[in-house]
Amino acid sequence: MHNKPVALVTGANKGIGLQIAKDLAQQGFAVLVGSRRFEAGESVVHSVGPDARTIPLDVTDETSIAKAEKRIRETYGRLDVLVNNAGVGHGGDPTRSNAQIMAETRLSVVDLDELRTVFATNVFGVVAVTQAMLPLLREAPAAKIINISSATGSLTLNSDPSNPVRQYTSTYTASKSALNAITQALAIELEGTRIKVHAVCPGLTATDMSEYGGSVEEAAREPVRVALLGSDSGTGTFSNAQGALPW
Ligand code: NDP
């Protein structure tokens, strides 16, 4: 088991993260199913594969991150792929209607506590997990960091007045723009090392986060394709299933 490459997927107890975990297991990885709720991870881990394990991991909790890093170091001694998938769509009252969420997460009105909550997971969580896992990623012969982002965070696409999606810019899309900036900065910092850093948009997908969209199977395809690219494939890319996306 320890000869297999090792992948950690954060927020993998459901949705797109769970499907990415399944697909990586299919591709021969020992997969760590990150879940802030251990029981939720345990309830799905058997569906991921025989070499999958649940790893308790709340990306907003430094102690939880440190414990996860320790477990991975003691069991595997390295990490080949880190998929920063855990994310939240909003950070306020979960019983609000979609229309209310859309109205209340506009940057002109959003409550700063809600803004902080969304950034805590979608941005600071990614940086904290990545920083903690870097020593383990450095132990892998060729490592990947895949940040699950969104085309709605593309500043270039949002600058185009003919892009209909730009009307949905919000707290969430700003968090993905920040995630893109972090992806690019990390890719530049790690140039010349064995660690490649990528942002991937899974596309609009029907999950607990979004009422509408395609299947999780379709959504997982691009992140998994990028995770499997050879070590000579470059770094600092942003893509979806249709190809390269502009930052
Ligand atoms: P889901 O809501 O189905 O899944 C989100 C996952 O993240 C859950 O496992 C959730 O855990 C976990 N999570 C949330 N906060 C934390 C935390 N603090 N620590 C650890 N795990 C956490 O959403 P999706 O599967 O749709 O989203 C996955 C990723 O894809 C997100 O980054 C999202 O922004 C991105 N994305 C989604 C799109 C879509 O249309 N669905 C489109 C573009 C991007 P729990 O079960 O405990 O809540």
Whose alpha carbon is nearest atom 21 of ligand 1?
Answer: 11
pLDDT at 2: 66
Atom of ligand 1 minimally distant from the CA of 37: 47
What is the Å distance from ligand 1's center to 89 Cα? 8
Q: Judge contact between 206 and 217, C-beta under 8 A.
A: no
Q: Does residue 156 fall inside a structural domain?
A: yes
DSSP string, 142-189: SEEEEEE--GGG-HHHHT-TT-GGGGG-SHHHHHHHHHHHHHHHHHHH
Interval 25-55: pLDDT, tens:
999 999 999 999 999 999 999 999 999 999 9
pLDDT at 149 exceeding the cut of 70: yes
Whose alpha carbon is nearest atom 43 of ligand 1?
Answer: 150
Q: Does residue 86 fall inside a structural domain?
A: yes
Interval 78-123: pLDDT, tens:
999 999 999 999 998 989 999 999 999 999 999 999 999 999 999 9
Atom of ligand 1 minimally distant from the CA of 84: 32
Whose alpha carbon is nearest atom 34 of ligand 1?
Answer: 87
Report the C-alpha gap between 233 and 50 in whole angstroms: 30
Q: Does residue 108 fall inside a structural domain?
A: yes
Q: Does residue 100 fall inside a structural domain?
A: yes
pLDDT at 1: 46
What is the Å distance from ligand 1's center to 86 Cα? 5
Range of the domain at 155: 6-244
For the domain that residue 162 is a member of, what is the CATH number?
3.40.50.720
| Entry field: residues in the chain | 247
Q: Does residue 79 fall inside a structural domain?
A: yes
pLDDT at 203: 97
Q: Does residue 1 fall inside a structural domain?
A: no
ipTM of the complex: 0.99
Residues within a 6 A CB radius of ligand 1: 10-11, 13-17, 36-37, 40, 57-60, 85-88, 121, 125, 148, 150, 201-202, 204-205, 207-210, 213
What is the Å distance from ligand 1's center to 122 Cα? 9
What is the Å distance from ligand 1's center to 191 Cα? 28
Q: Does residue 234 fall inside a structural domain?
A: yes
* Segment 153-178 mean pLDDT: 94
- Mutational test site, ligand 1, from 16, 45, 62, max ligand atoms within 8 Å of CB: 16
Task: Work out the mean pLDDT of the chain and round it to a whole number.
Answer: 96
Return the active site residues: 172, 176
Q: How much is the pTM?
A: 0.98
What is the Å distance from ligand 1's center to 192 Cα? 31
Q: How many domains does the chain have?
A: 1
Q: Does residue 164 fall inside a structural domain?
A: yes
pLDDT at 164 exceeding the cut of 90: no
